[in-house]
Structure 1
Amino acid sequence: MTELAKSFEPGPIEARWAAAWEQRHAFAPTLDAGKPSFSIQLPPPNVTGVLHMGHAFNQTIMDALTRYHRMRGHNTLWVPGTDHAGIATQIVVERQLQQQGISRHDLGRKNFVARVWEWKEQSGSTITQQMRRVGASVDWDHEYFTMDEGLSATVTETFVRLHEQGLIYRGKRLVSWDPVLKSAVSDLEVESEEEDGFLWHIRYPLANGSGSLVVATTRPETMLGDVAVMVHPEDERYTALHGHQVTLPLTGRTIPVIADDYVDREFGTGVVKVTPAHDANDYAVGQRHGLPMIGVLSLDATINDNAPEAYRGLDRFVARKKVVADLEALGLLVEVKKHKLMVPRCARTGQIIEPMLTDQWFVAVSKAGPDGKSIAQKAIDAVGSGQVKFVPENWVNTYDQWMKNIQDWCISRQLWWGHQIPAWYGSEGQIFVARDEAEARVKATAAGYAGELTRDPDVLDTWYSSALVPFSTLGWPNETPELKAFLPSSVLVTGYEIIFFWVARMIMMTSHFTGRVPFETVYIHGMVRDSEGKKMSKSEGNVLDPVDLIEGVDLPTLIHKSTTGLRKPETAPKVAKRVEKEFPSGMPAYGADALRFTMASYASLGRNINFDTKRCEGYRNFCNKLWNATRFVLMNTQGQDCGLKEHTKAECQPGGPAHGYLSFSPADRWITSELQKVEAAVAQGFADYRIDLVAQALYGFVWDEYCDWYLEIAKVQIQNGSEAQQRATRRTLIRVLETVLRLLHPITPFVTEELWQTVAVVAGRKADGSDALLAHAAYPVAQPERIDGEAIAWMDKLKTLVGACRNLRGEMGLSPAERVPLVVIGDEAFMAQAAPLLKVLAKLAEVQAVADEAAFAAATSAAPVAVVGAARVALKVEIDVEAERLRLDKEILRLETEIAKAEAKLGNESFVARAKPAVVEQERARVAEFSATLERVRSQRARL
């Protein structure tokens, strides 16, 4: 016999089982061709990252699905990995070098890359260790890093193939440029926020001296690269000036006046400058009108030699001030207006982005490939045909809209950390794309070039290698058993913010290279926000650390973490005060299971989550209740005859040796019936990706039905029942509990694995001392034929009767400790069977059944009566009628006074207008509650 600890302490349990699962390779996949397969790809977190609330939410959903399918007997693989995060990782290591007073250029590329690898080995596994902490049942033997040798080879192979197919090219295009990184960045990594700025109105003189046009701009420094001014073709103010020339101030160049319907006639003066080399919209205009492109910014955002000498070498914002001052001195600055504008910043560095005309590598996503279809079209067809489904379905529209307007994908980055582009250049710009330098030399020789080759210094966009993950992690281009079994994967669980970054690109690349889709379903979940619905951000001081929620943290540390990195440091005292108010003693240790249950309860389709730590507290209490319930069950079943011996049908017949061996009560049959219903509800919840409904069904069954009702009934049956009834009760107790642990395991793996090791032995599910894991046990499947309608009806009647007794106690003001008799008339058969249970559940002294009305009236005196089906019940209490009248009159007066006060507040227009909505609603609720109570008290007073 094993005795559980008296109290539930999650920390040691979680540490023990996390290590045990990994040591036993518990999550390695089977490759049985006769079984269905379930696989899932972890959206690879950045190697620089730490676990945040979004990860905890996302991974809870993935782990619940994975554990569920593993227990159902599927070949199950959850592939873990981390992304090399080109920009983020290079920034981290460069900052470390800066602290030592050196730069990456001092080290050189080879040594810098070696330093990054060194950092990765020391610090790059933080987030995967944290994943273990929350119980992620990934197969760590399949763990990958996107710079691993195998994955890097796949990156090179796909690049070369795409180039050979004419679907990768190099060209000069306008890209989003970070002047601090000195690299192109993805448009998707540019975050535009509204900021305060100015709108400068500048006079451009007409070249013929007949007047001028006034141009409105938010970036006056770029006027040095203007190649035209533009008006709307239907703007009557400027129709006569189409085709005229203006003199570009500060440069002496003349540029044309062009007409294009891109112009917003209502913005500024209705005249805009055209700078194709420094604005994406102007670039498109320049293409339409065949305009030249003059770039006036260097890659570090200083003014270059294409601008007048007075501005060369100046930082863009210093140049802005000088340009404005010079225009004012020349009398060409008409006015300056304050203006709200959207400022594009790099999500990684926070730097203001400059559109920059540079040579970059692109994937031609809309160009037809060798099979006549473009990469983009294949991805559109994959979703349109239903091969890939979105849950919720409305995200299909978002996906389609982006895919049908997709631009060629810029895949080169001017960094040192990442997959170096497999292209070599000849001395005159010849390009040889190859798998290695030897192959490049072969191609160069075939082309008649024998000179020196120089490799392209750029690296590939991190999202390029991430897009290959569905097949690169399974051994492609070889047709491995894993590739055969697990591509496509079953479901991708992700947030809506990376539909374009990752989801679309995985569908494009996987469809193109393998002819298969990467996954069958994309489950899009919402974003985790704080309790007030605000986005969690270190700069706002409202971030919660999942590990803190699991392990707990003291108040000073919590305040320090919340006030570090604030956007406005002056708000630190306010943030600290809020933290201290919410967690006066620091963050309690809720444990991983409680955090997971909380996350599961929030996992409805597509909705954002306002995270409240009070839910963690509630689910910590749930785990504790499950622990205590298990202790009770084991105390009553270990070493006892639990009726688990299986008998033949013949043995159970009258006269057989097993006849009467088990005698199941209506309550036994009821809890078994409810178990079948919850098993069906859980299966449906998993099928619909409604993990919140799974959590809700399990919580309600375990807490309300099994613990609050059945365990209390079982106590009575074990104390008072016959041997056959006791045996049946023990069997029901242990078998239902063992099934509950299996049902709960995908959501709360640690506590259930710990409890199951003992419970399963008593329940006959495994031999004592075996090393069987709950993680590998069969998941329960509903058996609808076991649902007993009569038992459910019997239990409903008992619950109603208990509720009626409790209401009567409340009406009569009886304390919970005061036990009084219950007088019953009617429904004699049911009452006789239910009496022992009713006595305990309703805290009664006894249950007295009477046969006629006179006896009932005499026994109950003036006590209130409740009608329950065919029976009437009343509590037998000796009442001083006069004293009770006085007490009730006093209570009626008090309630009337409270109602009058609340109604006066609600009738005050000033109060309703100024008070918070929650306060007003609280007053309305008080009126409703007092009124309902008053009605009951008056009714009782009338009986007296």
Structure 2
Amino acid sequence: MTKEINMETKYQPTEVEEGKYNEWIEEGYFRPSGDQEAEPYSIVIPPPNVTGKLHLGHAWDVTLQDIIIRQKRMQGYDTLWLPGMDHAGIATQGRVEERLRQEDNLTRYDLGREKFIDKTWEWKEEYASIIREQWAKMGISLDYERERFTLDEGLSQAVRKVFVELYKKDLIYRGEYIINWDPKLRTALSDIEVEYSDDNGAFYHLRYPVIGEDEVLELATTRPETLLGDTAVAVHPEDERYQHLIGKKALVPIVNREVPIVADTYVDQEFGTGVVKITPAHDPNDFEVGNRHDLPRINVMNDDATMNAEAGKYEGLTREDCRKAIVKDLESDGYLKEIEEMVHSVGHSERSGAVVEPRLSTQWFVRMQPLAETAINNQSTDERVDFYPQRFEKTFLDWMNNVHDWVISRQLWWGHQIPAWYHKDTGEVYVGEEEPEDIENWTQDEDVLDTWFSSALWPFSTMGWPDEDAEDFKRYFPTNTLVTGYDIIFFWVSRMIFQSLEFTDQRPFENVLIHGLIRAEDGRKMSKSLGNGIDPMDVIEEYGSDALRWFLTTGSAPGQDVRFSYEKMDAAWNFINKLWNASRFVLMNLDDFSYEDIDLTGDLNVAEKWILARLNETIDTVVENSEKFEFGEAGKAIYHFVWNDYCDWFIEMSKESLQRGTEEEKNKSKSILVYVLDQILRLMHPFTPFVTEEIWQYIPHEGNTIMLADYPEIKSEFNDPEAIQHMNILINVIRSVRAIRTEAKRPLSQPIQLIIKPDNESIAHFLKENKVYIENFTNPEELTIDLKGSHDAEVKSAIISGAEIYVPLSGLIDADEEIKRLEKEVDKWENEVKRAKGKLANDKFVSNAPQEIVDQEREKLAHHEENLKKAQNQLEQMKVYKEEQ
């Protein structure tokens, strides 16, 4: 059943998209089919953080997933695309605290933990609703009945189980260690949550007197305030300059602390003076040196990076003010030799932007080496995770081979509270999925787990694990494909892989499709600080969701960044409008034609055979590239078929049958027009779901929605290489004549003489049979198709594969210009012949390439040599013509 035809004369995305998403949800089209005979195909959405609205990167990410899931749904798979969101501990808590500060002038401590968490849940509900609205605008086909949140009870149970099991296996431990500390958010950070940038700084060259010797050790530091925590000075054990001082003591300026001079290979004797200060509580390398030499650890800072009581008279100062004060005191006391200004790499918190402070702290860690080894080894098995593009597997393996233990505790309130309790009297530690029975005697660890700890379980916790009998877990896990950006391979992809292998003995997904970043038109990263961010909802408001989706998915190759531009958005809209207008043409010419009237059998003209053969080729290209996630290439194939083959050529050629054909020819033309349009809409539906659904409802069809229509497949009866070859000749004839008209400034309205000299009788017969198309598209006053093709010398000519074309233009030929053009033509074909001969002279190519490829190259050489001969002949004729003038 079709809709009553009421298509606007121009594509109006707002009207097309209005109401469709809700209809799809109400009809249950996004749910799995439930067909147990069908092969399952599942994707879990990378859960967006409930910190704010989605950006263009999210739009790209979900569109890629939607293309995959819509295509698989149409191909008959039992598809599940599971939605959800992440609580995003640090980021969300920071946003809520900022709102409290701005609106109520309160801190979380004013509210207390319970009320603050209530406020955060309110924030979550507010922004989860916004995210769902944006998903709807994007048209993504999620099964909302299965939506999950990382703080859901089921997912929280999975988190507790994983923590406890890893603890029992001694893969989770608690210890004092130097960690990355965010002094603004007052929480620990993992290594990959630290971003490095070049900051202005200085080397402060200091003097440390040697106790009992008339010597002074010179060293340099970028952080003089940390000398308050120095507990040693180190030199290299093989450095001859300082052999006599090893084991003696040095005096730390300002605090007048006597510390040992130790020998350690950590010191680079070629750098600076070969002497370094050791501050085990404020530097990760110094921490390791301190462990080797049993040095005390003196923490001189509070958790907000102000100086504590260990800093003496500097207590209460910020680290920046303390630095200034100490430098002043060092100078006045004679301990400062010089200040050397420099630019150096400084770690900043990915979340708050604050300069990260290496800080001694008691934290919970995951012991990574055994987990990493399992993940690395799995890549050598049949159960490997395949990366697209493959180069990102190396990124994954490099990181896993060099991974450090993962600090998983965060000093936050919003998140999964660590399932560890401390006995109030004995200090005993209890770790369990449930709280201790005599809970009144225990205090739970106040910290929460790193957000990535819970999201690492996402592919299987969302499916019902740890209940391994859960229906979704049994049917849809492991998932098939993960789509995500290259910027979170370390944060998320790697952690999902090792956690899944550890707890399910299976990979979490078969494939990982890695995409790049959306950048501004000038190539810079989009950011609030630069003010160059673009809201995808604003783009949809102007161009429609389909145009945005088309641009995002056809504008780059996997792993590559995309530059956003409104010019490209205009092009995407124009393409959809082209399809819209083509569809209107078809519908206006159908009259009472119905789905039952479609008949593709019987005699077809060359254009009809050609478009069906080209449809086969396009389907093959689209499916092949989609399987490799090369949606840019798939999109190009669709674009060229729709714009060039279907709209520019077939629709124009069909007008001959529609206007002057017999009733049988008219019905045949309508059948092909409708059938090919239907297949185009099905091919494009995963990319542009709204407009394809709209048009499909107008054309004759079977079924309720294009979403559940069968995806196009190659039909062997449409394969017709001869029709493609002949049609290419016909199209090239028409294009060449049009080009000659343009060069000669002869508009189509002005008739011309046209002489076509075919290469053989077969081509001549074909062109004569189809001369109506040549006449309609080139408007010749006189058309000659002749193997001899005699003509006057004063002609514009063209060489195509299969024929030569001549247009007599008496008095309008510039012989010099034509000779130059023909000389370029000769050069072109000479280069083609040279290239082909070179390739065929290469023994490696001839021996190793498939025979069909070698044969194709030989055919190309023959064509190029024939075209070279034609061009040389035409050049000689033009030279003779010039001499005779």
Is the shorter-chain TM-score for this pair beyond 0.5, marking a shared fold? yes
1:814 aligns with 2:811: no
Q: Which residue of 2 aligns with 1:576?
A: none
CA offset at residue 118 of structure 1? 1.5
Q: Which residue of 2 aligns with 1:277?
A: 281
Q: Which residue of 2 aligns with 1:718?
A: 658
CA offset at residue 324 of structure 1? 0.8
Contact 1:303–1:312 (CA under 8 A) maintained in structure 2? yes
1:522 aligned to which of 499, 512, 522: 512
Query: Which is further off, 339-348 or 29-38?
Result: 29-38
Query: Which is further off, 866-875 or 742-751?
Result: 866-875
Q: Which residue of 2 aligns with 1:787?
A: 719
1:140 aligned to which of 133, 139, 144: 144
1:506 aligned to which of 488, 496, 500: 496
Q: Residues of 1 paired with 2:205 and 2:785: CA distance?
A: 96
Q: Residues of 1 paired with 2:6 and 2:479: CA distance?
A: 42
1:592 aligns with 2:545: yes
Query: Which is further off, 664-673 or 20-29?
Result: 20-29
1:463 aligns with 2:452: yes
1:832 aligns with 2:768: yes
> What secondary structure does 1:314 align onto?
coil
CA offset at residue 871 of structure 1? 5.6
1:153 aligned to which of 157, 166, 177: 157
Q: Residues of 2 paired with 1:675 and 1:12: CA distance?
A: 30
Q: Which amino acid aligns with 2:40?
A: S
Q: Residues of 2 paired with 1:782 and 1:129: CA distance?
A: 38
Q: Residues of 2 paired with 1:890 and 1:275: CA distance?
A: 81
Q: Which residue of 1 aligns with 2:867?
A: none
Contact 1:892–1:937 (CA under 8 A) maintained in structure 2? no
The 5 Å alignment of 1:373-392 reads 374-387=370-383, 388-392=385-389
1:488 aligned to which of 460, 478, 481: 478
Q: Which residue of 1 aligns with 2:841?
A: none
Q: Residues of 2 paired with 1:787 and 1:500: CA distance?
A: 47
Post-superposition Cα deviations, 1:493-532, rounded to whole Å, max 9, x if no partner, equal 1112111111111112111111211111112222222223
Q: Which amino acid aligns with 1:689?
A: F
Q: Which residue of 1 aligns with 2:840?
A: none
Contact 1:816–1:843 (CA under 8 A) maintained in structure 2? yes
Q: Which residue of 1 aligns with 2:111?
A: 107
Q: Which residue of 2 aligns with 1:170?
A: 174
Contact 2:693–2:706 (CA under 8 A) maintained in structure 1? yes
1:399 aligns with 2:399: no
The 5 Å alignment of 1:375-774 reads 375-387=371-383, 388-427=385-424, 428-437=426-435, 440-441=436-437, 452-478=441-467, 479-551=469-541, 589-640=542-593, 644=597, 662-759=602-699, 762=700, 764-766=701-703, 772-774=704-706
CA offset at residue 405 of structure 1? 2.4
Q: Which amino acid aligns with 1:808?
A: I
Post-superposition Cα deviations, 1:211-252, rounded to whole Å, max 9, x if no partner, equal 110110000000111111122233333233222210111112
1:62 aligned to which of 53, 62, 65: 65
Post-superposition Cα deviations, 1:37-85, rounded to whole Å, max 9, x if no partner, equal 1111211111013222221222221111111111111111111111111
Q: Which amino acid aligns with 2:719?
A: I
Query: Which is further off, 260-269 or 112-121?
Result: 260-269
1:7 aligns with 2:10: yes
Q: Residues of 1 paired with 2:68 and 2:594: CA distance?
A: 36
Compared CA separation, residues 251 and 936, structure 1 to 2 (3 A):
farther
Contact 1:232–1:260 (CA under 8 A) maintained in structure 2? yes
Q: Residues of 2 paired with 1:400 and 1:386: CA distance?
A: 17
Q: Which amino acid aligns with 2:431?
A: V
CA offset at residue 10 of structure 1? 0.6
Compared CA separation, residues 739 and 327, structure 1 to 2 (3 A):
same
Post-superposition Cα deviations, 1:342-383, rounded to whole Å, max 9, x if no partner, equal 1111111111111111111122233xxxxxxx3333222222
Q: Which amino acid aligns with 2:343?
A: K
1:300 aligns with 2:304: yes
Q: Residues of 1 paired with 2:501 and 2:252: CA distance?
A: 51
Task: Give the TM-score normalised by the residue count of structure 1.
Answer: 0.83
Contact 1:808–1:874 (CA under 8 A) maintained in structure 2? no
CA offset at residue 888 of structure 1? 7.5
Contact 2:599–2:668 (CA under 8 A) maintained in structure 1? no
Contact 1:633–1:734 (CA under 8 A) maintained in structure 2? yes
Q: Residues of 2 paired with 1:227 and 1:941: CA distance?
A: 96
Contact 2:794–2:808 (CA under 8 A) maintained in structure 1? no
Q: Residues of 2 paired with 1:426 and 1:257: CA distance?
A: 41
1:82 aligns with 2:85: yes
Compared CA separation, residues 48 and 15, structure 1 to 2 (3 A):
farther
Contact 1:50–1:127 (CA under 8 A) maintained in structure 2? yes
Q: Residues of 1 paired with 2:11 and 2:802: CA distance?
A: 45
Compared CA separation, residues 283 and 663, structure 1 to 2 (3 A):
same
Q: Which residue of 1 aligns with 2:836?
A: none
Q: Residues of 2 paired with 1:665 and 1:93: CA distance?
A: 68
CA offset at residue 639 of structure 1? 0.8
Q: Which amino acid aligns with 2:730?
A: L
Compared CA separation, residues 870 and 187, structure 1 to 2 (3 A):
closer
CA offset at residue 861 of structure 1? 8.0
Q: Which residue of 2 aligns with 1:326?
A: 329
Structure 2: 5+ residue runs without aligned partners? Answer: 821-874
Q: Which residue of 2 aligns with 1:268?
A: 272
RMSD: 2.5
Post-superposition Cα deviations, 1:844-896, rounded to whole Å, max 9, x if no partner, equal 4563557986xx54xx683434466676544466x4x3xx47x8789999xxx
The 5 Å alignment of 1:181-330 reads 181-307=185-311, 309-330=312-333
> What secondary structure does 1:237 align onto?
helix
Q: Residues of 2 paired with 1:599 and 1:181: CA distance?
A: 35
Compared CA separation, residues 778 and 889, structure 1 to 2 (3 A):
closer
Q: Which amino acid aligns with 2:543?
A: Y
CA offset at residue 202 of structure 1? 0.6
Query: Which is further off, 396-405 or 139-148?
Result: 396-405
Contact 1:525–1:603 (CA under 8 A) maintained in structure 2? no
CA offset at residue 615 of structure 1? 1.9
> What secondary structure does 2:5 align onto?
coil
Query: Which is further off, 352-361 or 816-825?
Result: 816-825
Compared CA separation, residues 937 and 418, structure 1 to 2 (3 A):
farther
> What secondary structure does 2:342 align onto?
strand
Post-superposition Cα deviations, 1:702-724, rounded to whole Å, max 9, x if no partner, equal 11111111111101122222333
Contact 2:51–2:92 (CA under 8 A) maintained in structure 1? yes
CA offset at residue 329 of structure 1? 1.0
CA offset at residue 267 of structure 1? 3.2
> What secondary structure does 1:543 align onto?
coil
Compared CA separation, residues 757 and 430, structure 1 to 2 (3 A):
same
CA offset at residue 433 of structure 1? 1.9
Query: Which is further off, 213-222 or 499-508?
Result: 499-508
Compared CA separation, residues 104 and 811, structure 1 to 2 (3 A):
closer
CA offset at residue 209 of structure 1? 3.2
Q: Residues of 2 paired with 1:784 and 1:63: CA distance?
A: 29
Determine what percentage of the aligned residue pairs are the same residue: 42
Q: Which amino acid aligns with 1:333?
A: L
Q: Residues of 2 paired with 1:117 and 1:743: CA distance?
A: 42
Structure 1: 5+ residue runs without aligned partners? Answer: 367-373, 445-450, 552-588, 648-660, 767-771, 894-934
